[in-house]
Chain A
Amino acid sequence: MSFSGEELDEFKAESLELLENAEKQLLSIDKGGDFRAAFDATFRCFHNLKGAAGMMDLEKLQVHTHKLEELLMGFKEATSMPKPYVTLFLRGIDASRILIDGGDVTFNYDVESEPAPREKPKAPELSAEAIDEFLSECEEIVERVSANLQTIEGGNEIKPRTDDIYRDIHSMKGSAYLYGYKKLGDLTHAMESSLEKIRQETHLPSKELLNALFRSLEIIDQYVTLVRSKTDRSTLDLLIPNLENVLNLCAANLPMNFSEAAKPTSIDEPVSVPVSKEPPQAVLGKESEGATSIRVPISLLDNLMTLMGEMVLVRNQVIQFSNKSDDLEFVSMSKRLNVVTSEIHEEMMKTRMQPIGNVLTKFNRVVRDLSQDLGKQINLHLHGTETELDKSLLEAIKDPLTHIVRNSCDHGIETPDVRRKAGKSDVGNLTIKSYHEGGQVIIEVQDDGKGLHREVILQKALEKGLITQAEVGSYSEKQVFNLIFEAGFSTAAKITNVSGRGVGMDVVRTNIERIGGTVELASIPGAGTKTKIKIPLTLAIIPALIVSSGNGTYAIPQVRLEELVRVEQSSTTSRVEIVHGVPVFRLRGNILPLVDLNSVLTRENRNDYRDGTLNIAVLNADQFSFGLIIDRIQDTADIVVKPLNRLIKSLQIYSGATVLGDGAVALILDIPGIAKVARLETAAARAIETSEDLAEKAKASSEVQDYLIVRLNSPTKHGIVLGFVHRLEEFKRSEIEYSGRLPVVRYRDVILPLISANEHLGYPEGTKSSQFVSVVVIKKKEALYGLIVDEIMDTLSTSADLDSKINAQNGIFGCLNTPNELIVIIDPFDIIERQYPNSKQQELYPAPSLAADSGAQAVDGKFPKIPATILLAEDTAFFRKAIKAVLEKTGYRVVCANDGQEAMDLLADPKNTFDLVVSDIEMPRLNGFQLAEAIRKHHAHSKLPMLAVSSRADIHSMEAGLKAGYDRYLEKLKPNILLSAVSELILKARKAA
């Protein structure tokens, strides 16, 4: 190929122009000009020249400019260029000129060679900023590589991940040498070479190599920290050659990849192919990354954020002003301003947002190392890693989260043998979940370890003098768990290097509270601990409810708001009542203490809430909820939080201030502070202490059962166990059709048979004046039935005992003796069965003849009395009581467990002996199926007769139950069938024994 003289001349002129420009730019760098502009221009110049040289077949020039370009690429992220490099590039330009003129030069691309002796990189010449950027990049790379290594360790995506690691390590190596960190460069070089065989897929990664690589990452991390703090790194430098040897050794002893070798194509393929392909790819990857993202100092973003806050305020003011204006043009302009500001705000927020995964994925490593150190097997599950959070908050939660994770691994999850004894699988699970909820980010750390034990904590707190003996009994579960957050508290029996030094959880709480978050603990002994952290999305702008009281306007952070209740004082059932001079409100059956915002602000107590409507904001003050009576609720708004001066803050009732749309200043209420000022906290604590029957109350809380209260044509109220209720419906009377004699209604896709409760319970039908009928929909064996009642009144949570002595009537369980009145509890299943006999339970194993449906017989005489002890596992208080009552009436001794786990614990205790297990299927912690399996596996109980009693009585559940090991599977609450099955199973077991 040849070119005309004209073309050559044109090329030369152009090239010289390019070179001249580059020279000018390089010199401007030397004089302290704008580096980026100069860099870009120089880069463009070399790049164009390279391209042109390639076209003109000037190979030498092409190679030369390519090398220069590559060298220049090393400064892509930099903000300055050391002098020797400028000189190098200037020399390079001179050499290019000679080459263009057809001459020949030998060019030394080594930067150190000319101005200084070799091996003395000009690190001090680099600006601190450039080094800092290099170090952050190193940290990022370490993180990425660590994540990739873990994937490889798990045996996944070996090839692509190795490529990623290779690229990262490669670029780190380049930078390390460039910035004069020779040891770091050497180490990365060793890492790079050790991966070579895996990249070519001829060998598989070995455990040793991965460990060595992890160790290398650790060293790099330490190295970076030392460089940052400008501390002596000589000890670390000594470690590196050793590590290099280990890496080389591991690389030499890698297992062969047979699956790859077996492929016929790979035999002839020379191994060098991927190698030659790789470097340009790395460059390309970097280039595109550089083009789509830039580094910006955080302080700049902070300033922008502050200004954004101001802009939101101005926007709000403009909007308010424009509402009063008649000028259409102005109004439409302000609308536009509104939209644009909102968009900017949104985008602005995003600039600071980072996925929480950046922090969470680090825990893979933490958990991996810890489980090795502690000899435990722990699986970490991460959910919601894409949840985004303000960068500064992300930084702030890193340490607290690490602490919680370490705690879970060390104290929470047991060693495999302990787990096995407890009937759990060897491998412990640690789950970290994060998600958005109500303008907050929730992070849950849950383990399935041994949980927290109330006694242990209290004992420890006593020892440490955090509480007094007198307080022990009065502590609620929440209060006990809160003790863990006290300074100087640790339940670890021995101090390990992981945790247990008694510093920590208090720091965790302080750190989280500092960023406006809350932390909560929940735990079930034996089943695990859950730590729930709530943090605001961002600190600067929060959603709030704007309310007014007196003349003032106040903001309540949305985070604290649970619900708003509007109360008509004229109503008789739901209104604010005064008890001993303080207002209270009955919220769904529980007494909610009320605080009047006006009283808090004016210090005047108000006790007459006789007229009008009241607004109550139900607020959450960490440990408890309370209602705040507010004059007016205005609006919700995103408010910009401004700090208050300390004197005002020390009043404890304000946490900040904000400027509203109309320019007015609103104080932000400090909800826990208000509770404190109103003496609610102490009052709440005292209420528990002085309660005369504390034990009773504690028991009550676990024995509470919910009922749906309905009115029938009878002076007594009737109740249905809420758990039975599928839905509540209201049908027009005209919608009711008849199938034969039976009333039905078309309900979604099915025909819903209707049953009148009045008719079945023997009450006269009420007057059919109303246009609508209220129907309680009950699900029985996958079919729906509608129970017609006169009125659906309310729900009731009560711990009152069910008295089943007087259930002399079909369709009634018994009576509930509440403090105010008697409530008759209906048995909807019985009513349904009476109306539709074929809906009855199908027995997989038909019970013997005495299981006849004999109605309300006296059970005593019918079944043989066998002295036996029965273990009853049932989580619903109602059924627990009812089944227990039925069994005890027949003379059995009954021991109750609240769930499967508790049942298992009782069984594991050798002091207990049981003749039969009666268990529910749906239970927390350990469900009925799991319980049966666990019992069958247990050496001492493999033959123990077991009976499942469940309302989940479809054919699949039954088969699953029998498969799990139950001898019989019954539908819930058929006393006669239950008793016959019980006696049969016990007798059978006795006979066999």
Chain B
Amino acid sequence: MSVTAVDYVRRRPVEQLTTFLIDGHLFGIDVLKIEEVTGKQKVYEVPRSPNFIRGLVNLRGQIVTALGLRELFQKDSSRRDDQMSVVCKLDGNLVALVVDSIGDVVEIERSLFESPPDTIPSEVRRFIKGIYKMNGQLMSVIDLGAIEKEFSPNTDPATTRIN
């Protein structure tokens, strides 16, 4: 019986995360969820969309929705030029998470994981799965499921229109 690479990584007591910086904060996403990392892309705005939707990106003929993580995590959203995108698949569609800069892929023991403290404002906390205590700094793990939920608004579209 052979163990696939995915199974192998999953079973280990460590997790591999791609790290990136948003407004000086360290964030991480499960490396297996990431399709690719791209540099700065031309973003086509979508008028009337919520502010965290930066717009649409033409990624080699595929249309990708760009999400500004700065906006999503309520950071200062004066946009900077050196932005990178982490492309993931959400809800069947490709989504580019726009971040400030990409860090390393880190391997970290699951035992160092903790759920986010209650004092974090709820609008930020709802997109965070938990926090890894690393040497010298803390890394927030992004909850892609929560973002996906945000993306599939329930029957009331009016709420998403207010912005």
Contacts and interface: CB of A to CB of B under 8 A. Distances in A.
Contact of B91 (A550, A645, A651): A645
Contacts of A650: 153, 157, 160
B56 A651 contact: no
A663 B61 CA distance: 8
Contact of A646 (B61, B62, B152): B152
A310 interface: yes
A166 interface: no
Contacts of B91: 645-646
A667 B56 contact: yes
A283 interface: no
Interface string A561-601: 00000000000000000000000000000000000000011
A317 to B, nearest CB: 9
B49 A648 contact: yes
Interface stretch (B24-32, B39-47, B76-84, B108-116): B39-47
Interface stretch (A17-25, A54-62, A653-661): A653-661
Contacts of B55: 665
A13 B57 CA distance: 69
A603 B150 contact: no
B95 A552 contact: no
A665 B161 contact: no
Chain A interface secondary structure, helix, strand, loop or mixed?
Answer: mixed
Given A642-B63, A659-B61, A665 B152 contact: no
B58 A665 contact: yes
A127 B161 CA distance: 54
A310 B153 CA distance: 30
Interface string A530-558: 00000000000000000000111100000
B142 interface: no
A647 B151 contact: yes
Interface string A626-645: 00000000000000001111
Contacts of B95: 645
B93 to A, nearest CB: 4
A4 B149 CA distance: 87
B140 interface: no
B61 A647 contact: no
B53 interface: yes
B49 A651 contact: yes
B130 interface: no
Contact of B58 (A645, A646, A664): A664
Interface string B138-160: 00000000000011110001001
Given A647-B150, A650-B160, A664-B44, A314 B61 contact: yes
B65 interface: yes
B160 A659 contact: no
Contacts of A657: 56, 63
A642 to B, nearest CB: 5
A645 B160 contact: no
A646 B48 contact: no
A652 to B, nearest CB: 6
Contacts of B62: 642
A645 B65 contact: yes
A659 B151 contact: no
A602 interface: yes
Contact of B53 (A314, A648, A663, A665): A648
A552 B45 contact: yes
Nearest to B50: A647
A552 B44 contact: yes
B44 A665 contact: yes
B56 A646 contact: no
B71 to A, nearest CB: 13
A417 B45 CA distance: 65
Contacts of A658: 63
A647 B58 contact: no
Given A646-B152, A665-B56, A551 B45 contact: yes
A437 B160 CA distance: 38
B160 A651 contact: yes
B57 A665 contact: yes
Interface in A515-543: none
Contacts of B42: 664
Given A310-B61, A650-B153, A665-B63, A643 B93 contact: yes
Interface string B83-105: 00000001101010000000000
B58 A651 contact: no
B154 to A, nearest CB: 10
B153 A647 contact: yes
Contacts of B65: 644-645, 647-648
Contacts of A644: 63, 65, 93
B45 to A, nearest CB: 6
A883 interface: no
Nearest to A640: B61
Interface in A655-684: 657-659, 663-667
Nearest to A666: B44
A484 interface: no
Contacts of B157: 650-652
Nearest to A658: B63
A824 B29 CA distance: 80
A621 B161 CA distance: 21
A653 B56 contact: no
A793 B50 CA distance: 51
A367 interface: no
Of B44, B90, B95, B150, chain A has the most CB atoms within 10 Å of the CB of B44
Pick the 9 closest A-B CB pairs, nearest first: A601-B47, A665-B44, A650-B157, A645-B93, A665-B56, A642-B63, A647-B151, A657-B63, A645-B65
24 contacts: A314-B61, A550-B47, A551-B45, A552-B47, A553-B44, A601-B47, A601-B48, A642-B62, A642-B63, A645-B91, A646-B153, A647-B65, A648-B53, A651-B46, A651-B49, A654-B46, A659-B58, A659-B61, A664-B58, A665-B44, A665-B55, A665-B63, A666-B44, A667-B46
Interface of A: 310, 313-314, 550-553, 600-603, 642-648, 650-654, 657-659, 663-667
Given A552-B45, A651-B48, A665-B56, 11 more contacts: A310-B61, A552-B44, A601-B47, A601-B48, A645-B65, A645-B93, A646-B153, A651-B161, A654-B46, A663-B58, A665-B44
